């Protein structure tokens, strides 16, 4: 058999690069804008977090280019497309508002809060690595509707909803950009000169912002002033932060565990989707690569986990190879090292970036429904509700606690440990719909145990912080067991049951 030549680069990699670049660019800029607005100083955001994230992206992209070559050599073909890779958007938002903001609020020290973020990222990467061992076991036991429903709650409240608010802060610009995004990314209509829709939206929105005077031109000067040299430097700060995660902020496990499980399951899903498109990669190897990339990023100051993107399918359709992946990694390393990301985050208004993330929110909620059976739609909806409570709690409870309490005393406890609560309720309803009351009882019992130790409905890990929730879940467990014991055999009801009884009576008479 003739040995094939798998090229480092081909023309189609240009389109693949721009598609992947715009995904990562939106995330990098939003990270910078969000962390600066929280109170993290420039030297941490631009000098440590962004370079650390860039190192993670480079490491992962290089490894996935290597995996693409291995697959090309194994199957003796040149049309293999490398997996797309970068910062996980939904996980990014949870780390921003569920880890970095609480850490800063608790410590009041940006340096220490950043180290806690690094520790969380390192731990998240370790759980991703574990996913290569336990991923299939979790995947087969956790209903997809509960996992995607809980995530859709994050997408609806923190991504789509929150960023739609930001879109309306500059309505002329924001609505124009949102229209471009909807036309280009949802309706999939081509943009002028075949420019990628997100890139076209950023260009048009930024030009409009400065042309109509909604953003002062001094922002451009400030942006260029951030250009400098931000060399990625390894640090052991994650290990100092780990002491807080295992003590003062141990409640972060209630966020880190489920979202990390989601991350390695999504890697599994996206790799499997790529297999359906023609490139069958090893799932366990991809999960190891994701986890390793995340941990490498944490060692260099990064605070956000990475993952395989579903956008890999789009790159496959473009007939990209491995070059687009390699170029993406090096471009982001250079852009972060020389302060280009910092400059762009200063120059591009948030109202321009926000509509792109509104699209991400729309996509995530839509995917939650399109990826499950129609009968499980109610479970997706139910799993979304806890994060709506979490949004109200996160945004308003500190500043207006009395208002939140007057609205409902249940908002705060429902929002505490929202990811676990969404998973539990989504699973319970899936099992009820499927007439699997015993499994539903197990899920309810898990809810009781999680609430008993403080992973749910409590501000910190504490045994029986509020015993009422534990009793409520145990009562529900008993109810579901009762239904399990008294439920009729599946498929036997009404006339069918009467016919069965008649047949049994007839048989006994004949005997």
22 or 205: which carries more pLDDT confidence? 205
Q: How many structural domains comprise the chain?
A: 2
- Residue 71 falls within a domain, yes or no? yes
The predicted model gives 53-62 an average pLDDT of 95
Question: Which domain, by its residues, includes 138?
Answer: 12-372
| CB proximity list for 471: less than 8 A, separation 6 or greater | none
Does 292 share its domain with 418?
no
Residue 308's DSSP bridge partners are: 85
- For residue 255, count CB atoms less than 10 angstroms from its CB and return exposed for 0-12, middle for 13-18, buried for 19 or more: buried
Residue 207: inside a domain: yes
Instruction: Assess whether 210 and 305 both reside in one domain.
Output: yes
Q: Which residues contact residue 510 at a Cβ distance below 8 angstroms, ignoring those fewer than 6 apart?
A: none
Residues 367 and 418 occupy one common structural domain? no
- Asked whether residue 68 is assigned to any structural domain, the reply reads yes
Share of the chain above pLDDT 90, in %: 48
First-to-last C-alpha distance (Å) of the chain:
72
Over residues 310-327, the mean pLDDT reads: 85
CB 58 within 8 A of CB 333: yes
pLDDT of 415 over the 70 cut: yes
Residue 118 binned pLDDT confidence (cut-offs 50, 70, 90): very high
Q: Looking at the domain assignment, is residue 462 inside a domain?
A: yes
Digit-coded pLDDT (tens) for 471-489: 999 999 999 999 999 976 5
507 against 280, higher pLDDT: 280
What's the confidence (pLDDT) of residue 496? 47
pLDDT in tens, 126-147: 988 988 888 777 777 889 899 8
Task: State the Rg of the chain over Cα.
Answer: 25
Could you tell me which residue, 322 or 213, shows the higher pLDDT?
322
Mean pLDDT, range 206-235, rounded to an integer = 89
Does residue 349 or residue 292 have the better pLDDT?
292
Quick one: which H or E segment has residue 85? strand 85-87
Model confidence at 436, pLDDT cuts 50, 70, 90, reads very high
Three-state secondary-structure class, residue 306: strand
Q: Distance (Å, rounded) from C-alpha 298 to C-alpha 235?
A: 8
394 is a domain residue: no
Q: Give the pLDDT band of residue 1 (cuts 50, 70, 90).
A: low
Confidence of residue 209 (pLDDT cuts 50, 70, 90): very high
Q: For residue 498, is pLDDT > 60?
A: no
Answer whether residue 330 shows pLDDT above 70.
yes
Last residue of a domain, one of 352, 372, 392: 372
Give the span between the Cα atoms of 191 and 15, in whole angstroms.
Answer: 14
Q: CA-CA distance, 265 to 280, in Å (whole number)?
A: 17
pLDDT band at 82 (very low <50, low <70, confident <90, very high): very high
Looking at the structure, tell me whether residues 40 and 170 fall in a common domain: yes
386 occurs within a structural domain: no
Q: Phi/psi of residue 87, each to 5°?
A: -70, 130
Confidence of residue 504 (pLDDT cuts 50, 70, 90): very low
Q: Are residues 368 and 419 in the same domain?
A: no
> Does residue 140 sit in the same domain as residue 200?
yes
- Cα separation, 207 vs 510, in Å, equals 90
What average pLDDT does the structure give for the chain? 87
Query: Is 262 domain-assigned?
Result: yes
Tokens of 370: 């399109």
Q: Which residue has the higher pLDDT, 276 or 34?
A: 34
Contact call for residues 58 and 306 (beta carbons, < 8 A): no
HEC readout, 87-139? ECHHHHHHHHHHHHHHHHHHHCCHHHHHHHHHHHHHHHHHHHHHHHHHHHHHH
Residues forming a β-bridge with 171:
none
User: What does the pLDDT read at residue 434?
Assistant: 96
Nearest of 125, 135, 29, 87 to residue 307 by alpha carbon: 87
pLDDT value of position 509: 34
Q: What local confidence, expressed as pLDDT, does residue 489 receive?
A: 58
Q: Answer yes or no: is pLDDT of 259 > 70.
A: yes
* Spatial separation of the C-alpha atoms in residues 9 and 310, rounded to whole Å: 22
**Measuring CA to CA, which residue among 263, 365, 357 is closest to residue 309?**
263
Residues 61 and 143 in one domain: yes
Residue 153 sits in the same domain as residue 273: yes
On whether both 355 and 424 belong to a single domain, the answer is no
Q: What is the pLDDT of residue 314?
A: 77
For residues 310 and 450, membership in a common domain is answered with: no
| Banded model confidence at residue 495, pLDDT cuts 50, 70, 90 | very low
Provide the total of helices (H) and of strands (E) in the chain, helices listed first: 25, 2
- Identify whether 3 is part of a domain: no
DSSP-assigned states of every residue in 166-177: HHTTSHHHHHHH
> What integer is the mean pLDDT of 294-319?
88
The reply to whether 299 and 422 lie within a common domain is: no
């Amino acid at each position: 058999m003739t040995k094939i030549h798998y090229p480092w680069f081909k023309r189609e990699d240009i389109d693949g690069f721009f598609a992947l670049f715009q995904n990562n660019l939106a995330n990098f800029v939003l990270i910078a804008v969000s962390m600066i607005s929280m109170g993290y100083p420039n030297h941490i955001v631009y000098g440590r977090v962004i370079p650390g994230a860039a190192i993670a992206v480079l490491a992962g992209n290089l490894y996935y280019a290597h995996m693409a070559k291995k697959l090309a050599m194994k199957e003796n073909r040149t049309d293999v497309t490398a997996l797309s890779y970068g910062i996980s958007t939904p996980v990014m938002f949870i780390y921003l508002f569920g880890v970095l903001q609480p850490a800063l609020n608790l410590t009041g020290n940006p340096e220490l809060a950043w180290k806690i973020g690094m520790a969380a990222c390192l731990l998240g990467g370790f759980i991703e690595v574990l996913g290569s061992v336990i991923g299939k076991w979790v995947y087969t036991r956790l209903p997809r509707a509960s996992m995607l429903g809980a995530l859709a709650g994050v997408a609806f409240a923190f991504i789509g909803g929150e960023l739609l608010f930001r879109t309306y802060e500059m309505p002329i610009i924001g609505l124009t950009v949102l229209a471009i995004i909807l036309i280009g990314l949802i309706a999939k209509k081509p943009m002028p000169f075949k420019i990628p829709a997100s890139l076209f939206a950023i260009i048009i929105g930024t030009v409009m912002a400065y042309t109509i005077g909604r953003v002062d031109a001094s922002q451009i000067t400030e942006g260029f002033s951030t250009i400098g040299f931000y060399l990625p430097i390894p640090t052991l700060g994650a290990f100092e932060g780990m002491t807080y995660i295992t003590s003062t902020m141990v409640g972060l496990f209630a966020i880190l565990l489920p979202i990390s499980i989601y991350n390695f399951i999504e890697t599994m899903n996206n790799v499997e989707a790529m297999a359906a498109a023609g490139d069958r990669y090893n799932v366990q190897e991809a999960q190891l690569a994701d986890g390793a990339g995340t941990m490498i990023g944490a060692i260099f100051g990064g605070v956000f986990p990475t993952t395989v993107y579903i956008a890999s399918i789009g790159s496959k359709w473009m007939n990209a190879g491995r070059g687009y992946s390699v170029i993406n990694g090096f471009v982001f390393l250079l852009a972060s090292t020389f302060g280009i990301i910092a400059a762009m985050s200063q120059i591009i208004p948030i109202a321009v970036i926000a509509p792109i993330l509104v699209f991400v929110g729309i996509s995530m909620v839509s995917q939650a429904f399109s990826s499950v059976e129609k009968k499980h739609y109610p479970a997706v909806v139910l799993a979304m509700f806890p994060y709506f409570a979490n949004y109200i709690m996160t945004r308003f409870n500190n500043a207006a606690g009395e208002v939140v309490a007057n609205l409902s005393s249940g908002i705060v406890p429902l929002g505490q440990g929202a990811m676990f609560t969404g998973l539990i309720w989504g699973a319970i309803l899936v099992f009820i719909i499927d007439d699997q009351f015993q499994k539903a009882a197990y899920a309810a019992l898990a809810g009781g145990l999680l609430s008993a130790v403080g992973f749910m409905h409590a501000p910190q890990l504490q045994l029986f912080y509020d015993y009422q929730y534990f009793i409520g879940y145990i009562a529900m467990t008993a109810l579901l067991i009762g239904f399990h014991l008294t439920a009729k055999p599946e498929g036997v009801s009404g006339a069918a049951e009467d016919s069965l009884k008649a047949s049994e009576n007839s048989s006994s008479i004949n005997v």
